[in-house]
Structure 1
Amino acid sequence: MARVEIGDKLVPKAGFDGPDRLMAGVESGKALNASNSDSSSEGGFRLKKELGLLDGVAIIVGVIVGAGIFVSPKGVLLYSGSIGQSIIVWILCGLLSMVGALCYAELGTMIPKSGGDYAYIGVAFGPLPAFLYLWVALLVLVPTGNAITALTFAQYLLQPFRPSCEAPVESVQLLAAVITCVLTAINCYNVKWVTRVTDVFTGTKILALLVIVAAGAWYLLSGNTELWADPMQGSLKSPGFIALAFYNGLFSYSGWNYLNFVTEELKDPFRNLPRAICISMPVVTIIYVVTNVAYFSVLSTEEILASEAVAITFGKKMLGFMAWIMPLFVACSTFGSLNGGIFASSRLFFVGARNGHLPAAISLINVNCLTPIPSLIFLCILSLVLLFINDVYVLINYISYVEALFTLMSISGLLWLRYKQPKTERPIRVNLILPVIFLITCSFLVISSCLQSPVEVAVGTAIILTGIPVYYTTIHRPIGWLTRMSQSINLWCSKFFLCMPNQEKEN
């Protein structure tokens, strides 16, 4: 029985893995050519290190700055009660995300594997908690996020063509499906193409925000300061409301840990991972704060809370006949975010399959493109299914708590590994106070969500718990017919997609 070592624990892999990897390697080996020889090793193929520092910064900024800052800053305002407290929440959310990102930089350089939270939870706490994170990510977190981003892209791309009414649901879903498939194809073909798309659309969304900031600054400097007369009026001081305001702010910052999903493809990760974080997070925080200042200078609290898309309302008021560019900018922003999300999250499933927690076919690498094509196609299928669920947005209410819980577990893992493995090399070692601050804050958010939204918390917990019987029937004590089916699928995928198994050694 094949086994993989996660931390100091051996995990049986027969449930979804086994000798089929060797069979796939033999079948696919005929397709090898000399141009790929530098990417192979005695154990098989590896993902190519193609991402530099600028690419890392673009991925983080590109994934974080999605539709949120254009569409719904009103969530923070709703639970803050005042524009002054909203600005404070945006700043603190940026600082907290920076602290979390630095903690993940220590984890990412100590455990230089792709997979992010999945890899860190596995090393710290063993295979079952790691699988539960993978299970929730597979079932809800990743495909839901990608589906909602694709739907948002389609809605705002179609809006200029139907300014007086909403586009038909079928048109939005079809366009979202097409763009999901196109970006999946780009990700399958070439990592360099992915980074170029990310770089271009990151620049586009920064340009869009600069337009908003410039218009807001011009309006404010023209003497229109009445909305800032009493910025703290109406502030809500209840801990529950503060927690919900932070949840909405942190949701807009989500994605700061995505570079950790692709550590193995980052050039010189010990230097470039922390550098990319230290450059991108202050940039995002400054962008978010000045953009909100622009919004609050032009739009009243009532106008923001009544708006379905704040940037669109802002554009109609400030840009006149050029207001049509705002929906286009939102579409470009979501396009870049979807591209980065597909790239990073597909590596999560790739690593999970490599560790025997998903069918081994998902860990195969194409011999020509050196990309995990089966993982990308698997993720595309999951996202397409969710695109055609009419109430997919309802799932957002259940995933915030789950994300916060597993982030809390990852940071707890950092502290546990400090105690359990004090002599392990840590190229980056953050001050102990940073993970403690982040741990306390995450704990406050998780506990507050239990009090404020018990139904959502119960559903999220139930989704997590459904992974336990799946783990024991497919991983711990696998059912024979599932193993045979996995081997057959693995062999078919290796032939059809011209792939070889990834035999990266797990430490």
Structure 2
Amino acid sequence: MDEEGIRKRSSTQEPDETPIKKSKSMNLQKEVGLLSGICLIVGTMIGSGIFVSPKGVLANVGAVGPSLVIWTACGVLATLVTVTLVNALSVKWASYVQNFFTAAKMVIVIIIIVSGIVLLAQGNTKNFNNSFDGPPLSVGAICLAFYNGLWAYSGWNQLNYITEELKDPYRNLPLSIVIGIPLVTVCYVLINISYFTVMTSTELLQSQAVAVTFGDRVLYPASWIVPLFVAFSAIGSANGTCFTASRLAYVVGREGHMLKVLSYISIKRLTPVPAIIFYGAIAIIYIIPGDINTLINYFSFAVWIFYGLNMLGLIVMRFTRKDLERPIRVPLIIPILVMFVSIVLVLAPIITAPELPYLYCALFIISGLVFYVLFIHFKFSWAQKISKPITMHLQMLMEVVPPEDVSE
């Protein structure tokens, strides 16, 4: 069945049917409220990072005090196949899954924080003595520490990608961010303090999974709950990221910057199935290295390049496109500051400690430019001959259509 056939099947009524005046919008539906918005931010940010990244932060700064400062600063700066399937099937189910796993991960967060407070009250403060004594800090080391810290904070901006599905976005978007990010920042700093109540800097660096080591020392014989809830946390973060990041691919396809099929919507589910599957495939490519530190470097290096470019675009358009409507307007100093931070975070590690992962990541980004030039920008005829039949077959296979209004 071709595109026209799918449209006809979606909109045609049987002759003996009673006409229905209501119109079904073949667009993404507004299913996400304030609570779900907060859960998306908190649940996406709190993944596996806070249970693993403390080692990477401490390894780069070398002392407890700077480590806690980095975790706080990351919060201020911020102010993988089952998941794909759930998101493809239903927006509501994806929200329910996100809410459940956010609640589950907050259980382990509270357990760790309360345990740390009890230990501090019992006088376990020796690891905080002379907490700023450590090796000399360099700009490169600080940036790599931020890489690890910001890995755990990644997700702070995810709600921006689903404004079309967010109820009352002008209210709920900023309110979710204002509530979610400070909440996570406080939790992260308290969790790190809890870690240091039972582990010295050396012991934390030797730990393969910081939260598991904490559980073995504090929660025994119930330490098994820590890896269980860490798994819940990772699943919730993956679900939130899949839900939001796939919408970015959807909009990119709709605006003509990638293949149009990415902007198509399922007739039955009203979800952007092609964009979700595309995101899942890219995520699988990213986890091929297998090593968490390599993955963090890949992700952080790439994401801060695009954060910087986004800020540059915002600044340029503030002067070149003054006529555009801006329902949410930020002070110009904020994008200027973030762009400066992006430049430092991208260049400092390359200059001070150049590694091959940065080159691999740059090549991966450039490969996307090659695809864009051939298939999108110049639209070479031979490229169109390849893309059109692929689009048609994907449309039939997934039963998807371009976003539009069709009569029921």
- Whether TM exceeds 0.5 here: the answer is yes
Give a deviation string over 1:205-245, Cα, whole Å, max 9, x none: 11101100111111110112211222112153322222222
Counterpart among 51, 60, 75 of residue 56 in structure 2: 75
1:14-38 CA-to-partner distances (Å, cap 9, x unmatched) read xxxxxx9xx5144243134899964
Identity value in percent: 38
Match of 2:274 among 368, 374, 391: 374
Alpha carbons of 1:185 and 1:466: their partners in 2 closer, same or farther (altered >3 Å)? closer
Runs of 5+ in structure 2 lacking a partner?
14-18
TM-fit CA distance, 1:416 = 1.5
1:29-178 aligned at under 5 Å gives the runs: 29-32=8-11, 38-40=23-25, 45-98=26-79, 150=80
Instruction: Give the whole-Å Cα distance in 2 for the aligned partners of 1:494 and 1:437.
Output: 43
- Higher-RCO chain (CA-CA 8 Å, sequence separation at least 6): 1
Task: Tell me the CA shift for residue 440 of structure 1.
Answer: 2.1
* Structure 1 position 320, deviation (Å): 0.9
Q: Against the structure 1 CA distance between its residues 449 and 431, is the aligned structure 2 distance closer, same or farther, given a 3 Å change threshold?
A: same
Distance 1:337 1:241, change over 3 A: same
Aligned-residue CA RMSD in angstroms?
2.5
- Relative distance call for 1:36 and 1:447 in structure 2 (3 A) is farther
Partner of 2:138: 238
- Work out which of the residue numbers 495, 498, 506 in structure 1 matches 2:396: 495
1:231 partner SS? coil
For 2:292 and 2:379, locate their aligned partners in 1 and report how far apart those are by CA, in whole Å. 32
Partner of 1:308: 208
2:217 alignment partner in structure 1: 317
2:265 is paired with a residue of what secondary structure? strand
SS in 2 for 1:232: coil
The residue identity in structure 2 corresponding to 1:84 is: G
1:469 corresponds to: 370
SS of the aligned residue for 2:344 comes to helix
State the secondary structure of the residue aligned to 1:31: helix
Equivalent residue for 1:336, pick from 217, 229, 236: 236
Quick check: 1:27 aligned with 2:6? yes
Aligned counterpart, 1:228: 128
Deviations 1:237-287 (A, max 9, x none): 322222222222112111111111212111222221111111111011001
- Structure 1 pair 458–378 and aligned structure 2 pair: CA distance change class (3 A): closer
Taking structure 1 as reference, are residues 25 and 358 closer, same or farther at Cα in structure 2, changes over 3 Å only?
Answer: farther
Amino acid at match of 1:429: R
- What are the ranges of 5 or more consecutive residues in structure 1 without an aligned counterpart? 1-19, 99-149, 151-179
Native 8 Å contact 1:367 1:498 kept in 2: yes
The answer (yes or no) to whether the contact 2:395–2:401 under 8 Å persists in 1 is yes
Look up the match of 2:108: 208
CA distance in 1, matches of 2:324, 2:148: 37
In 2, the alpha carbon distance for the partners of 1:183 and 1:31 equals 28
Q: Which residue of structure 1 aligns with residue 16 of structure 2?
A: none
Offset at residue 299 of structure 1 (A): 1.0
The one-letter code matched in structure 1 to 2:333 is I
Q: CA deviation at 1:365?
A: 0.8
Query: How many angstroms apart in 2 are the aligned matches of 1:357 and 1:47?
Result: 19
Corresponding residue number in structure 2 for 1:459: 360
What code does the residue aligned with 2:60 have?
A: Y
Aligned counterpart, 1:443? 343
Which of 230, 240, 257 is residue 357 of structure 1 equivalent to?
257
Q: 1:320 to 1:394 in 2, by over 3 A?
A: same
CA contact (8 A) 2:47 2:237 kept: yes
Separation in structure 1 between the aligned mates of residue 286 and residue 195 of structure 2, nearest angstrom? 33
**Cα pair distance change 1:416/1:387, threshold 3 Å:** closer
Q: Which amino acid aligns with 2:359?
A: A
More moved, 59-68 vs 224-233: 224-233
Q: 1:378 to 1:97 in 2, by over 3 A?
A: closer
Equivalent residue for 1:159?
none
Cα offsets for 1:63-99 (capped at 9, x unmatched) = 110001012311111112111111111111111110x
The 8 Å contact of residues 365 and 499 in structure 1, kept in 2 or not, is answered as yes
Partner-residue secondary structure (3-state), 1:272:
helix
CA 1:431–1:378: 2 relative to 1, 3 Å: closer
Counterparts of 1:300 and 1:450, CA distance in 2: 30
Q: Quick one: which amino acid aligns to residue 100 of structure 2?
A: V
- Separation in 2 of the partners of 1:37 and 1:312? 54
Q: Measure, in 2, the Cα distance between the counterparts of 1:264 and 1:197.
A: 20
Find the counterpart in structure 2 of residue 433 from structure 1. 333
Over 3 Å counting, the alpha-carbon distance change for 1:232 and 1:250 in structure 2 is same
Report what 2:380 is aligned to. 479
Q: Does 1:405 align with 2:305?
A: yes
Tell me the distance in 2 between the aligned counterparts of 1:377 and 1:237. Answer: 43
TM-score (norm 1): 0.73
Alpha-carbon distance, 1:429 to partner: 2.7
In 2, are the aligned partners of 1:187 and 1:193 still within 8 Å (CA)? Answer: yes
How much does 1:454 deviate? 2.8
Question: SS where residue 313 of structure 1 aligns?
Answer: helix
